[in-house]
Structure 1
Amino acid sequence: MTNTGTPWIYIVGEKLLVALRTPSEPAIVERLWSLVCSPSTTFEDALRVIPNTSGGEPASFVALERSSGNGSVKLLVHGDAVVDAHTGGRWTRITSGDQPWRRDELSGVEAVAAGGLTGEPGSPVSGVSFPLGSGVIVANRIDWVADPGSIAAPARADAAASASPVPPAQSHFRPAPADTHTIIRPPAQRVRPEDDPAMRHDGETVLRRDIAPPIQDETVLREAPLVPDDPKTLLYGFRINGGQAYPLDAVHYFGRNPRQPRIPLPDPSRLVPVVSGSKSVSATHLEIKQIGDSIVATDLKSTNGTSVIPPHGHWRRLRQGESVVVAPGTFIDIGDGNVIEILPPWPGV
């Protein structure tokens, strides 16, 4: 804890951790605390409670779930929040970048730091520190480490430990397992998406515009919700990670290596491959199509699932094979930083 910089509210349980930048509604903090105390609460349960906006701007928060035993961490970084993760012998910084958020799942995680972090990932920090077993605290930074002997990095704390506090004089490299240290965080310098939407592309997404020939596949599509089968009077669009906009003038299949369904559809279709280094995106992950003046998104029984966030709404995880009608302004997260934005009616239509 420091007396300067932006403080954060940390809600810490045995496996779930949520960091909210202050100020935050007490009712939300109380609700999150009741959730993280329950062993049956999932990562998605916590996301449904956290507001996505604050004062008209993207809210800043971190949601993190640790899996016991295998070192895997599931996380969502939203707004100006920052997470440093130590994996494979090195530190990696995870931010939302030029997007409103970033969702990721890491394996072999040895340590995590969360909050409003500055400086180089893994750089030393200073401040008044104390251990935390579980609870709700206000601080500038929180750290968790699985094996302190294997990491040469800044001071950190075991969120599941209960050792005695260490005097501030020892707040530097290689602390005891239960030291918590903080960092002074100056105002972040970010390009806001609303200022320059063209800057929201991560440079990794590959979008193919041609209509690929039908390819035999085992993908089974679930029937879409009932929507009016009227002729189109509007033509909506989409873009990936804030990149180039494309019209929804065909049925679009998104995935790591997408294929058309085994039974060809009467409507034209396009395959949209995306980059997924961790292969958390399924080969054929998501279908988006326009029926009349409605837009229908369908999870194609993906392995790691699909998350949908409507305008001014909360995160919702689709069930395998589930279809949902989405509105312009909806974001659809299919994993590995690949976020599809549904755009308003196409110009000139």
Structure 2
Amino acid sequence: MVVGTVTSATRVGAGEWEVVVGDRFIAVLAAPADDRAIAELAGLTGDATVGIERLVQEIPGAPDAAGEVDRGFAVVWWPTADASSVTAVVRGEAVVDVDSPGGSRRFDGRGIRPWHLAEFRDVSGVRITEAAAPLRPRGTAIGARAPGRATLRATDVEWTPEARPSGADVPLGASSDRAARGGPLDATNAPETETATDAIAITGEEPETVEGPADLDPISAFAPGPPPRVRIGADDVRTVTRPILVGRRPLAPRAPAAASAAPELVPVRSPTGVVSGTHLELRVEGERLVATDLRSTNGTVLRTATGVRRMRAGESIVVVPGSTLDLGDDTIIEVLPASDEAPRPTRTDRPRT
């Protein structure tokens, strides 16, 4: 179980989230959320082995109905009891503000579908809120202490690695005694403020101290270990240390990027023209390799050990060794096992904030 204190608040006029707090994760879904999804997530709150993939799997996809607004979701997950390492997944209006010794940074969905994933280190605090909320450092947790596993409704959720001392407890009120799913926090019970707060203490082993600022660049936030490798076509084997753009005539984004983050452009032959000019992006998010179909004309077919599926235009998906991506015209990208001999970034290779 991860050490820390979770505090929730309700701001007048802000969009609310359904919040599920587990031993290893905090998940927020736009309220009102699907009851089945909330129930499934609540059933995982005590599972110390649950992975980020399983958590995201339980969250419904974006609405398809015309005119229906998808406010999105966010999941913050601790892969180990070391609370300084965090993986975040966001979509839509949900954002995760990450605190580190170097300051606060915002991680948002950037319009990526079905979601955007990144891994962060040296984290000293996390705040989940909506994109319209201003970026500000994590506040001081005030309010009642509640069970470590809970569901509730709020507009803001904050986590701090410091466990709440017992002397800081206050009597539980109607807004905080929710071991099961409850209604929205009642801002009228908060003394002369615009927010009502609720704190959930998560206890466990003390996290290790990690010095230095957080590695908050999703492209550069590699976990220890060799980066992934791919084979493009028959014999073009590449180690993915920065984004790779594949297509007939791939073009780099118009926005300038640092030299270390500038994408590799990999042109491929397509006699019949079924491969788009800039067809697919491969990038590393944390420990995972993510493939994104860049709204190609004829699509991308993903083959894995469990089956075959055609990626939706603009869709991002985690791909694992043994998977293949078929762009058409015999252009096959194979995801290879990482090699221990492959070059890997070190702390001095990554930008510091």
The two structures have a TM-score, normalised by structure 2, of: 0.50
CA contact (8 A) 1:256 1:276 kept: no
> How far, CA to CA, are the matches of 2:280 and 2:42 in structure 1?
39
Q: Alpha-carbon deviation of 1:144?
A: 1.0
> How far, CA to CA, are the matches of 1:24 and 1:296 in structure 2?
31
The C-alpha deviation readout for 1:112-139, integer Å capped at 9, x for no partner, is: 1113372332175899665451111112
Show the counterpart of 1:322: 323
Structure 2 residue ranges without an equivalent (≥5)? 1-8, 173-189, 203-217, 220-227, 235-242, 252-260, 329-334, 336-353
Read off the aligned partner of 1:145 and give its amino acid letter.
T
Q: Alpha-carbon deviation of 1:36?
A: 3.3
Show the counterpart of 1:105: 119
> How far, CA to CA, are the matches of 1:90 and 1:297 in structure 2?
39
The C-alpha deviation readout for 1:265-324, integer Å capped at 9, x for no partner, is: 987899999897988687xx8698xxxx7733579xxxxxxxx99449998643213125
Show the counterpart of 1:2: 10
CA contact (8 A) 1:287 1:298 kept: no
Show the counterpart of 1:64: 76
Q: Of residues 108, 115, 120 in structure 1, which corresponds to 2:129?
A: 115
CA contact (8 A) 1:112 1:145 kept: yes
Relative to structure 1, is the Cα distance of residues 77 and 278 closer, same or farther in structure 2, using a 3 angstrom cutoff? closer
Read off the aligned partner of 1:31 and give its amino acid letter.
E
Show the counterpart of 1:295: 300
Read off the aligned partner of 1:30 and give its amino acid letter.
A
> How far, CA to CA, are the matches of 2:121 and 2:39 in structure 1?
30
> How far, CA to CA, are the matches of 1:279 and 1:171 in structure 2?
39
CA contact (8 A) 2:292 2:315 kept: no
Read off the aligned partner of 2:319 and give its amino acid letter.
L
The C-alpha deviation readout for 1:206-247, integer Å capped at 9, x for no partner, is: xxxxxxxxxxxx9664999xxxxxxxxxxxxxxxx9xxxx99
Q: Of residues 125, 140, 143 in structure 1, which corresponds to 2:158?
A: 143
Read off the aligned partner of 2:118 and give its amino acid letter.
D
Q: Of residues 17, 20, 27 in structure 2, which corresponds to 1:18?
A: 27
CA contact (8 A) 1:222 1:322 kept: no
The C-alpha deviation readout for 1:99-122, integer Å capped at 9, x for no partner, is: 454321100111111133723321
Question: Which deviates more, 50-59 or 40-49?
Answer: 50-59
Read off the aligned partner of 1:320 and give its amino acid letter.
P
> How far, CA to CA, are the matches of 2:285 and 2:318 in structure 1?
20
> How far, CA to CA, are the matches of 1:298 and 1:219 in structure 2?
17
CA contact (8 A) 2:246 2:280 kept: no
Read off the aligned partner of 1:93 and give its amino acid letter.
R
Q: Of residues 60, 63, 80 in structure 2, which corresponds to 1:51?
A: 60
Read off the aligned partner of 1:16 and give its amino acid letter.
F
Q: CA RMSD in A?
A: 5.7
Relative to structure 1, is the Cα distance of residues 27 and 162 closer, same or farther in structure 2, using a 3 angstrom cutoff? farther
Structure 1 residue ranges without an equivalent (≥5)? 149-156, 181-203, 206-217, 225-240, 300-307, 328-333, 335-349
Q: Alpha-carbon deviation of 1:140?
A: 1.9
Secondary structure, in 3 states, of the residue corresponding to 1:45?
Answer: helix
| Structure ranking higher in strand proportion | 2
Secondary structure, in 3 states, of the residue corresponding to 1:58?
Answer: coil
Secondary structure, in 3 states, of the residue corresponding to 2:10?
Answer: coil
Show the counterpart of 1:93: 106
The two structures have a TM-score, normalised by structure 1, of: 0.51
Show the counterpart of 2:48: 39
Q: Determine whether 1:165 maps to 2:173.
A: no
Secondary structure, in 3 states, of the residue corresponding to 2:42?
Answer: helix
Q: Alpha-carbon deviation of 1:165?
A: 3.5
> How far, CA to CA, are the matches of 1:136 and 1:162 in structure 2?
24
Relative to structure 1, is the Cα distance of residues 286 and 46 closer, same or farther in structure 2, using a 3 angstrom cutoff? closer
Question: Which deviates more, 313-322 or 268-277?
Answer: 268-277
Relative to structure 1, is the Cα distance of residues 220 and 85 closer, same or farther in structure 2, using a 3 angstrom cutoff? closer
Q: Alpha-carbon deviation of 1:3?
A: 6.8
Read off the aligned partner of 1:43 and give its amino acid letter.
I
Q: Determine whether 1:75 maps to 2:88.
A: yes
Q: Alpha-carbon deviation of 1:53?
A: 1.1
Number of residue pairs aligned between Structure 1 and Structure 2: 246
Secondary structure, in 3 states, of the residue corresponding to 1:27?
Answer: helix
Read off the aligned partner of 1:37 and give its amino acid letter.
G
> How far, CA to CA, are the matches of 1:30 and 1:279 in structure 2?
28
> How far, CA to CA, are the matches of 2:60 and 2:123 in structure 1?
27
CA contact (8 A) 2:246 2:281 kept: no
Secondary structure, in 3 states, of the residue corresponding to 2:40?
Answer: helix
Secondary structure, in 3 states, of the residue corresponding to 1:35?
Answer: coil
